[in-house]
Structure 1
Amino acid sequence: MHLPDFEAWAMFACVVEHRSFSAAAQALGVSKATVSKAISRLEARLGTALFHRTSRRLTLTDSGRALADQAQRILAEGQAAEEQALESARAPTGLVRLAAPMTFGVRHVAPAIADFMVAHPGIEIDLHLSDARVDIVAEGVDIALRIADLPDSSLRARRLSSVRSRVVASPAYLEQHGVPAHPAQLADHACFGYTNIANATWTFHGPGSEVAAVRVVGPLSTNNGEAMMPALKAGVGIARLPDFIVDHEIETGELIEILSDWQAPPVALHLLTPPSARRPARVELLISWLSERFRNICEASGNRRDSRTTAD
């Protein structure tokens, strides 16, 4: 039996990550020649080229792209195995890369990781905030928080909380343009677009199991929900946004929820990790911390507001 050339696979993964033989060699603390020989050795064993090399560019071949994710998993599993063994004898240390949606990240994730770092001073956090979907394997992310109806994938997903969306507008807008009584009427209103979702059709489930779908248009499109708030408050249009963005404004009366008998398709807050089952202790600690902190967080917020509305 021939054992895999684990060193060459790991160096291949490092070159893919750093997009350069020289940068990979520097990161690994070895010579560029050592990295080059390892890649040549792996290519000879596989019988295929992994990179196109020119004097100015280094790009993956089709075979290289097909094998890159597997190489990164091999490297990650090896690092995790070593770190797990080492961390059993000492307090967890090192870097955790975390990705989260922009508004939820600023309002909830940033305070959570501040508390986490106080409790675990040896752990560093690289927090990436964006509403765009992150390829956590390709970008080397350890944990991602995502608010979505997740498609099937090889990622490991943990559902933390359902997230309810509400259709809202300012009192001034509704006074000037009227209050829609049915989702179909939104087609005649100025509705803000969320550009991270290509489909401009809003779907609703209503009374008596009725389903309504309406294609919306409007004067504002943006890739971040909170960026809609100034235009919403100014009476420019209507938006469909999650509870955690609009709760306060609904409570203060700056925004009014409309079509409350109609629900958007359910989405949830998920915690995602790469497919490998083996993770460093520092990553496991942050997973546990975030899971506990955010379990049912959006449901609890919505329930509190609904109970206040009922009481009123």
Structure 2
Amino acid sequence: MDTIDGMRTFVTVVKEGSFTAAAGRRRMSTALVSKYVGQLEDHLGVRLLNRTTRSLTLTEIGAAYFERCQQILDDLDELESSVQDRHASPRGTLIISAPVTFGELYLTDVVARFLAAHPDVRIDLNLTDRFVNLVDEGVDVAIRIAELEDSPLIARRLAPARIVVCASPVYLKRRGALRYLNDLEKHDCIVDRNFRSGSLWQFKEDGKQKSIQVDGRFTVNNAASVRRMLLADMGVGLIPTFAVGPDIRQGRLKILLDAYEGSNLGVYAVYAHNRHLAGKVRAFVDFAVKCFGASPEWDQY
């Protein structure tokens, strides 16, 4: 066993919480993962992990070794990347996290085109609306749709993400039009918990912040589900245009209250740092910027 391979396997076991999960991540058998960790312990002459049938915990010396291993492996990866980037095309596994709806509608197509252009790259795409800690979870790039706050992370804007109020023509015919923010209080509003303000919808009028508390019978944490409820004539929704652009263009949904400015968020690629930035990360972010741009297809209506 190569010591570096043993260290990588050990770190993966700790991060994944089990030999089986680590085997899946490392693309090797569970038996081989266990063998590598055992050989590493024999080489060091210490026990790194306490193993039972139900749990896996670090020993005191194992915890200290784990921290140093992570730093050594990160430094080694940076060194290799800085050398390889000078002479080679992007290669290796790129781990990406992205919101579910945006990932399904747009990012997966970009990933497919990127993989076709870079045959030496593998991509592990994790679609989740959960906030992901890049460093703790080993993610190379996270796609975030937000107004980004100050952060040690590096962020590149890929595209705008306008937030609009929508409803179907059938719903509006049944319940009446909306002209003012206060009209929302009379309507069934579909609430997306992915917005931090929840049912307190935020707008701007003449540059001034305005908020209105809405109510409705359906709450969810997914923009695609909000869209389906809108198309089912079930209410009024606050939703990003990337989720409903084609529906607006084809008349299935109508933008409401356009005299009021909703949140203008951005689609960002976020990564931990740019010192010796891995070529695969740089190449993917550059590629995504070109694919989306300042006037993305979802705003063409």
TM-score (norm 1): 0.77
Matches of 1:270 and 1:243, distance apart in 2: 16
Matches of 1:143 and 1:168, distance apart in 2: 31
The reply on whether 1:201 has 2:200 as its aligned counterpart is yes
Q: State the secondary structure of the residue aligned to 1:138.
A: helix
Q: Which residue of 1 aligns with 2:280?
A: 282
Matches of 2:257 and 2:106, distance apart in 1: 27
Shift of 1:21: 7.4
Q: Which residue of 2 aligns with 1:34?
A: 40
Q: State the secondary structure of the residue aligned to 1:192.
A: strand
Shift of 1:87: 5.4
Partner letter of residue 34 of structure 1? L
Shift of 1:76: 2.6
The reply on whether 1:147 has 2:145 as its aligned counterpart is yes
**Unpaired stretches in structure 2, ≥5 consecutive residues:** 24-30
Matches of 1:113 and 1:274, distance apart in 2: 20
Q: Which residue of 2 aligns with 1:310?
A: none
Partner letter of residue 199 of structure 2? A
Matches of 1:259 and 1:267, distance apart in 2: 18
Shift of 1:170: 0.9
Query: When the two structures are aligned, how many residues end up with a matched partner?
Result: 288
TM alignment of 1:153-302, pairs within 5 A: 153-198=151-196, 199-206=198-205, 208-275=206-273, 277-298=275-296, 301-302=298-299
Call closer, same or farther: CA 1:267–1:61 in 2, change over 3 Å.
farther
Aligned alpha-carbon RMSD (Å): 3.5
Q: State the secondary structure of the residue aligned to 1:30.
A: helix
Partner letter of residue 38 of structure 2? K
Call closer, same or farther: CA 1:81–1:218 in 2, change over 3 Å.
same
Q: Please say which of residues 244-253 and 7-16 is displaced more in the overlay.
A: 7-16
Paired-residue identity, %: 30
Q: Please say which of residues 63-72 and 184-193 is displaced more in the overlay.
A: 63-72
Shift of 1:215: 1.6
Matches of 1:271 and 1:73, distance apart in 2: 24
Q: Which residue of 2 aligns with 1:110?
A: 108
Matches of 2:249 and 2:230, distance apart in 1: 15
State whether residues 69 and 137 of structure 1, in contact with CA within 8 Å, keep that contact through their aligned partners in structure 2.
Answer: no
Shift of 1:286: 1.3
Q: State the secondary structure of the residue aligned to 1:103.
A: helix
Q: State the secondary structure of the residue aligned to 2:280.
A: helix
Call closer, same or farther: CA 1:57–1:251 in 2, change over 3 Å.
same
Call closer, same or farther: CA 1:57–1:257 in 2, change over 3 Å.
same
Partner letter of residue 96 of structure 2? L
Q: State the secondary structure of the residue aligned to 1:214.
A: strand
State whether residues 202 and 215 of structure 1, in contact with CA within 8 Å, keep that contact through their aligned partners in structure 2.
Answer: yes
Shift of 1:12: 6.7
Matches of 2:122 and 2:148, distance apart in 1: 28
Deviation digits for residues 35-66 of structure 1 (CA, Å, limit 9, x no counterpart): 4875969x9xxxxxxx8x46342346999999
Shift of 1:234: 2.1
Q: Please say which of residues 162-171 and 26-35 is displaced more in the overlay.
A: 26-35
Deviation digits for residues 196-232 of structure 1 (CA, Å, limit 9, x no counterpart): 33532101101x3343211222122222111222321
Call closer, same or farther: CA 1:59–1:267 in 2, change over 3 Å.
farther
State whether residues 6 and 36 of structure 2, in contact with CA within 8 Å, keep that contact through their aligned partners in structure 1.
Answer: no
Matches of 1:20 and 1:10, distance apart in 2: 14
Q: Which residue of 2 aligns with 1:309?
A: none
Call closer, same or farther: CA 1:27–1:155 in 2, change over 3 Å.
farther
Q: Please say which of residues 139-148 and 226-235 is displaced more in the overlay.
A: 226-235
Q: Please say which of residues 230-239 and 23-32 is displaced more in the overlay.
A: 23-32
State whether residues 80 and 279 of structure 1, in contact with CA within 8 Å, keep that contact through their aligned partners in structure 2.
Answer: yes
Q: State the secondary structure of the residue aligned to 2:152.
A: coil
TM-score (norm 2): 0.80
Q: State the secondary structure of the residue aligned to 1:212.
A: strand
**Unpaired stretches in structure 1, ≥5 consecutive residues:** 1-5, 44-50, 306-312
Call closer, same or farther: CA 1:38–1:217 in 2, change over 3 Å.
farther
Matches of 2:34 and 2:88, distance apart in 1: 24
Shift of 1:263: 1.2
Shift of 1:301: 4.7
Q: Which residue of 2 aligns with 1:127?
A: 125
Partner letter of residue 201 of structure 2? W
Shift of 1:174: 1.2
Call closer, same or farther: CA 1:13–1:186 in 2, change over 3 Å.
same
State whether residues 169 and 238 of structure 1, in contact with CA within 8 Å, keep that contact through their aligned partners in structure 2.
Answer: yes
Shift of 1:7: 10
Matches of 1:72 and 1:157, distance apart in 2: 24
